[in-house]
A and B are shown apart, each in its own frame.
Chain A
């Protein structure tokens, strides 16, 4: 069919929206509440266009579907004025404290104000003052800044299936919050932080640990070490204008030294260690006949989700601590011994692509003698903010290597940060242990009847093992349901809370979207390909660690330090 936009005749097909047709023709229409394929409800009225002809009027462009002969104007003075009016009404209920707001310069509301030519708000009135929800170590909800676009609601409910956020009350009093306006620590929130990426403003943000890290760095009595997660190295560049997926590993190490960390270590090291322990766990379950499926345990959002919603699967979760926590445990035992330091004298900071990691570090299961193994967790964004505060010229730094001994890793560890990576890394080691041969890549195919889930069959000497890989909690939940119903059988499932894995984590730079997540994931595979060692069991320091300290893979000492337990939580 044919439609006319701004007098230009365009080809369109039924079912397309005006927004899509316009975009294809290079006509941009501003949006705020729109989140492609997720939130398409047209509540903010920013994308208004004029429908010409009989029965016309003004319609939101991503809700309005094309019809033959439809004539649309996107750029008349009236359309521009209408959009600006609607935006000013939103601004009238928004604290305009951009100067001190963490989303300044990447806030969509701020961007729109500029784009639509807002020059002061004509409207001012009473605003309801809401209390901040600072109940969790991971996320802060600031309803005062909320524009009620409901993007977080669609992500929390539909993509992630967590379903804790919903619009409560009505009209002026509308509040996007858990039931009975409770705080996040009272409900079944996974703390994955995907709502934060959906938020166009700073209504949801991380619980900032920057001041605490500065305090530790300025304390002469503390030996402060930092560990950096795999997914951070391919995303932090974005905070300095570099293309997503560009590896910044060596500059990142130098930058952390400049911040004053005494040692800069690599979570990759304990990712290799996780593979050794988890691989061992898979092998012993194969020997003992279960329980299957074994579920990976490195994503803390996933763990918390299982504890809330699928706690009949707790025995299936790998007992391995996540790489972050294995690092913390080793830093305060193995490394402390080497340096002749007591547990109290070491502060372990981690830099994670994740908001749930902040919670994981505070879990009671991760405590030893009443103190945390990992003391402070920064997101990728927070580290970038710290670097900017100190004036470190990040892009022009000369690179350097991680410190010994917790800084040596293989390519298997790098791909931990991308969906499918943990599975591939584990199978590289397990396959070789069982067959004596090298696994030549892992070919995953879309699982039948389960979108967003990939699976593979691996032929071992005397048996075939079935594995599945899934990211995003909504998808992960579907796999568990299918397993429960007996429709699917797997030996091993890798599950990540965030779509795309840690590269799409709640702690990653803003914006984080599908395209950017893909590029970051590719970046990690590029690092893997550039390394000569790609199998965790070939990591020489890991071998040394087992020989000298842990008394062998899967042994008692290893178990005490590197494994954990889980708990049932209310739905």
Chain B
């Protein structure tokens, strides 16, 4: 773990404020940003741990807790809200049987909210892992979840 983090940090040596990029890369490699991971990031970047955690917990795309295999993120921004994101959320909750911030028993899905995904034209939208889905309906949601 330490070697992975060190290697990633070395790649950003020329950048002035690389923290966010580093956290993304580290999460890609190690799954999520545990206390142990953040302590190492703080150590090698010579930043206070409080600041590293503050940044990691600020961004919804960074996870400081272990998540399921697939993360379903529902956009909670205004355009999606107007186009019915709350219905999407209700649908997902009942489909998966979990609440926001929870993970299904089989560890397959975690449900999260996210701020704007930048695809307001196809609102309401969700993101599953790296894939964005728009113009959602209940039927579409079912199909999407089946893919995973």
Residue of B nearest to A156 (CB): B50
Interface size on B, as a range, is 10 to 19
From known contacts A179-B38, A180-B64, infer whether A163 and B57 are also in contact, taking CB-CB under 8 Å: no
The count of residues in chain A whose C-beta lies closer than 8 Å to any C-beta of chain B is 13
Q: What is the minimal beta-carbon distance from A318 to any residue of chain B, in angstroms?
A: 29
Bitwise interface map of A from 170 to 182 toward B, beta carbon under 8 Å scored 1, else 0: 1000000011100
A86 at the interface (CB under 8 A from B): no
Complex contact B50–A169 (CB within 8 A): no
Residue of B nearest to A167 (CB): B54
B49 at the interface (CB under 8 A from A): yes
Complex contact A179–B58 (CB within 8 A): no
Q: What is the minimal beta-carbon distance from B19 to any residue of chain A, in angstroms?
A: 13
Residue of A nearest to B60 (CB): A170
Chain A residues with CB under 8 A of B118: none
Complex contact A180–B51 (CB within 8 A): no
A180 to B63, CA, bound (A): 12
A374 at the interface (CB under 8 A from B): no
Q: What is the minimal beta-carbon distance from B37 to any residue of chain A, in angstroms?
A: 12
Bitwise interface map of A from 158 to 172 toward B, beta carbon under 8 Å scored 1, else 0: 000001111111100
Chain A residues with CB under 8 A of B48: 157, 163-164, 166
Complex contact A166–B53 (CB within 8 A): yes
B52 at the interface (CB under 8 A from A): yes
Within 8 A of A (CB), among B33-78: 35, 38, 48-54, 57-60, 64
Chain B residues with CB under 8 A of A170: 57-60
A167 to B58, CA, bound (A): 9
Within 8 A of B (CB), among A360-400: none
Chain A residues with CB under 8 A of B50: 157, 163-166, 178-179, 187
A495 to B57, CA, bound (A): 35
A262 to B64, CA, bound (A): 54
Q: What is the minimal beta-carbon distance from A143 to any residue of chain B, in angstroms?
A: 14
Looking at B49, B51, B58, which has the most chain A CB atoms within 10 Å of its CB? B49
A188 to B38, CA, bound (A): 16
A165 to B35, CA, bound (A): 16
Complex contact A180–B53 (CB within 8 A): yes
From known contacts A180-B35, A180-B64, infer whether A168 and B57 are also in contact, taking CB-CB under 8 Å: yes
Chain A residues with CB under 8 A of B60: 170
Complex contact A168–B53 (CB within 8 A): yes
A157 to B58, CA, bound (A): 18
A170 to B57, CA, bound (A): 7
Complex contact A166–B51 (CB within 8 A): yes
Chain B residues with CB under 8 A of A179: 35, 38, 49-50, 52-54
Residue of B nearest to A168 (CB): B57
Within 8 A of A (CB), among B62-107: 64
A170 to B54, CA, bound (A): 9
Looking at A163, A165, A179, which has the most chain B CB atoms within 10 Å of its CB? A179
Chain A residues with CB under 8 A of B35: 179-180
Chain A residues with CB under 8 A of B38: 179
Residue of A nearest to B65 (CB): A180
Within 8 A of B (CB), among A167-218: 167-170, 178-180, 187
Chain A residues with CB under 8 A of B53: 166, 168, 179-180
Complex contact B54–A166 (CB within 8 A): yes
From known contacts A179-B38, A180-B35, A180-B64, infer whether A163 and B58 are also in contact, taking CB-CB under 8 Å: no
Complex contact A163–B51 (CB within 8 A): yes
Complex contact B54–A168 (CB within 8 A): yes
Chain B residues with CB under 8 A of A168: 53-54, 57-58
Q: What is the minimal beta-carbon distance from A134 to any residue of chain B, in angstroms?
A: 20
Residue of B nearest to A178 (CB): B50
Chain B residues with CB under 8 A of A187: 50
Q: What is the minimal beta-carbon distance from B74 to any residue of chain A, in angstroms?
A: 15
- The 10 sampled A-B contact pairs (Cβ below 8 Å) are A157-B51, A163-B51, A166-B50, A168-B53, A169-B58, A170-B60, A178-B50, A179-B49, A180-B35, A187-B50
| Further 9 A-B residue pairs, CB within 8 A, beyond A166-B53, A168-B58 | A157-B51, A163-B48, A163-B51, A168-B54, A169-B58, A170-B60, A179-B52, A180-B53, A180-B64
The 6 closest A-B pairs by CB, nearest first: A179-B53, A163-B48, A166-B50, A166-B54, A168-B57, A170-B58
